[in-house]
Amino acid sequence: MIKNSLLILAFSVFTYMNGQFSSSEVAKKVSAYKSVKLSMDLPDLTPMEIEGIRCLIRAAEQIDEIFKIQAYAGNPLTDTITDFNLLTYMKINYGPWDRLNNNLPFIKGIGEKPLGANFYPVNMRQSEFDSLQDERKNSPYTILVRENNQLTVIPYNEAYNVQLGQAFQFLNMASDMFSFTDKEFSSFLKSRAQALFNNEYDASDRLWLDMKSNRFDIIIGPIENYEDKLYGIKTAYEAYILVKDVEWSKKLEKYVAFLPELQKKLPVDAKYKTEKSGSSSQLNAYDVLFYAGDCNSGSKTIAVNLPNDEVLQLEKGTRRSQLKNAMKAKFDYILLPIANELIVPEQRKHVLFNAFFTNTMFHEVAHGLGIKNTINKEGTVKDALGANYSPLEEGKADILGLFMVTELHNKKVLTEGELMDYYVTYIAGIIRSVRFGAASAHGKANMVCFNVFNEYKAFTKDDKTGFYTVNAENTKAAMTYLSGLILKIQGDGDAVAFNRLLEEKGNVPAFLQNDLNLLSKKSIPIDLVFEQGEFIFNEK
C-alpha cells in the first residue's frame, strides 16, 4: 500500500511539473483561504503553565501527523513537492483532494478520493468486509489492511504507535507541569494519555466532563467519523488546545437548565423525544491556541459538542465548547462580507456577531436533543443510518438550534437583540456553509435547509438587485417543518427517507450557484488557515 502511494504521488508531481497545472491556478485556490494569526490575550501564566502548554502543542503535533496518514497515505511525501502554493494547498487539505470542492483532485493522476480514506484498503470489496470474521472491524479505533491477500484488523494504538508514544509522553509531561496549579486538569491529562495508548476513552471522557473550573483545556484523540465516508465507522484524530473565556462562559450557564423543557417542545410526535440527556451538560466559550488534524482540515471547526458516546451523553450530558476567536475571524472575514453582498441593505443591520455566536452555540446544544436510539428498537440512530448519520445529524443541529433560539427568545430568556438578528444571520450563515461543498456533512445539511427555506419563502430574492430579504414568519414555518421531518427520519432510522430528502433537496439551484460564483469573484474567503504555534509566548 505504501509503495503504491509512492508511485501515485511521484506520478502526480511529475504531471504537475510538466505543466498540467499552473502555479497561478493553485495560488488562486490558496488565496481563497484567509490567513489568520491564532493568538489572544493570554491570562497571567506561570512558567510551569507555559511549559505545560508547549507540551500540549507538541502532543497535538503528533496527532496532526496521524491524521495526515489517515487522510492520505502519500501525505508524508509532500517534502518532494517544491512549488510553494501546491505544497500549501496540500497541507490545507491534508492531501491532493479539495475538501471544499466535493473532494475533487487538484493534482492530475491522483484519481478520486477513496470513500474510506486510508482506513481501509482502497480496493477492498464489500463481500470481503462482510465475510471478515473479526468483530474489531466495526470498532471506531481500528484500521483494515491487506496482508498476504487477506484483510487484517489493526488497532489504532498499534497502527500509529510511534506518534501515539510521543503524544503519550508529552501529555504526561504537561500533566506534571499543570499539577502545580490545576490538579483536576493534570489528572485528566494523565488519563487521556493512557487512553491514547490503549484505545479506552470512557474513563478520561468522564474526568473531562466532571471538570468545571479548569482554565485550560485540550480535546485530543480519535473523535469524529466524517472522514470515513464508506461506513461512517472510523474516527479521525484531532486536537484543540483551548483557554476558557470565563466571562463569556458565565453568560452561557443559564441555558443548560432549559434543555429538558425544550426537548418536550420539539415539533414532533412524543415517541421521538422520550429520551433525556445527562444533567451535567456544560456550555463554555474558549479561545483556541492550536488546531491539529481533522478539525484543521478544509473548513475549520468553530464549535464542538462532545463526547460522541451516546451512552455517556444520556448519563452525563456533553460539553459544548464555543471557539470564540476562530468564530469571530469567520464572522469578520467571511460572513459579514457575504451579507454585505447578498442581504438586502435594510436588513444588514441584523447580521451581528452575537447572533452568529448564539446560532452556532445552539447548533451544538441541539446535538443533545431528539433521541439517540431508534423507536423500533433497531439500535442507535447512528448505527441505523451509517454513513448518512453525520450529514443528517448536522442538519438536525442546524435547524433545532434555530428552534431553540426562537423558543428562548419568546420566553425572554434570550434577551440580547431582536429575533430577526438571529434569522437574518442564520440565512447568511447557510450561504457561507453551502460553500463547503457536497463532500462536507455541514455543506450537505445546509443545502437541504436552504432549499426547504426557499420553498417556504423564508427568504425571497430580488432578480434585479440580487438581494435576499428574510421573512420571519415563513422562517418559523420552514424551521418547524424541517425540524419534525429530520427528527422522524432519525427516530425511524430511515436511511431510504434521508437519501430521498438529499436527492430532492440537496442540489444547488442555479441562482445560488451564481451567488457563490459572485462571492468567489469578489475574493471573499471560503474559509481560514491559521498561523499558530509557540510564537504566542514571544508576544506577551
115-119, 310-314, 508-512, 524-528: which range is least confident on average?
310-314
Distance CA 450, CA 48 (A): 49
Residue 127 phi, psi dihedral angles, 5° rounding: -65, -35
Domain ranges of the chain: 1-31+73-112, 259-274+343-507
What own/partner pairs with CB < 8 Å and gap ≥ 24 does 219-222 have? Answer: 219/304, 219/306, 219/321, 220/59, 220/60, 220/63, 220/167, 220/171, 220/192, 220/196, 221/63, 221/192, 221/195, 221/196, 222/140, 222/141, 222/156
The reported pLDDT for the residue numbered 102 is 86
The reported pLDDT for the residue numbered 336 is 98
The reported pLDDT for the residue numbered 287 is 93
* Whether the predicted pLDDT of 427 surpasses 80: yes
132-136, 503-507, 520-524: which range is least confident on average?
503-507
Distance CA 423, CA 427 (A): 6
pLDDT digits (tens, 9 = 90+) for 346-358: 999 999 999 999 9
Which residue(s) pair with 164 in the sheet?
A: none
What band does 281 get if pLDDT is binned at 50, 70 and 90? confident
Mean pLDDT of 289-310: 93
The answer to whether 370 touches 491, Cβ cutoff 8 Å, is: yes
468 vs 261, which has greater pLDDT? 468
The reported pLDDT for the residue numbered 52 is 96
Distance CA 234, CA 69 (A): 13
Distance CA 468, CA 486 (A): 26
Mean pLDDT of 267-278: 84
Write the CA distances from 141 to 172, 206, 239, integer angstroms. Answer: 22, 19, 16
The reported pLDDT for the residue numbered 435 is 85
Which residue(s) pair with 216 in the sheet?
A: 243
Distance CA 388, CA 394 (A): 10
The reported pLDDT for the residue numbered 472 is 97
352 vs 444, which has greater pLDDT? 352
Mean pLDDT of 352-371: 90
What band does 451 get if pLDDT is binned at 50, 70 and 90? very high
63 vs 392, which has greater pLDDT? 63
What band does 44 get if pLDDT is binned at 50, 70 and 90? confident
* Whether the predicted pLDDT of 9 surpasses 60: no
Mean pLDDT of 38-45: 78
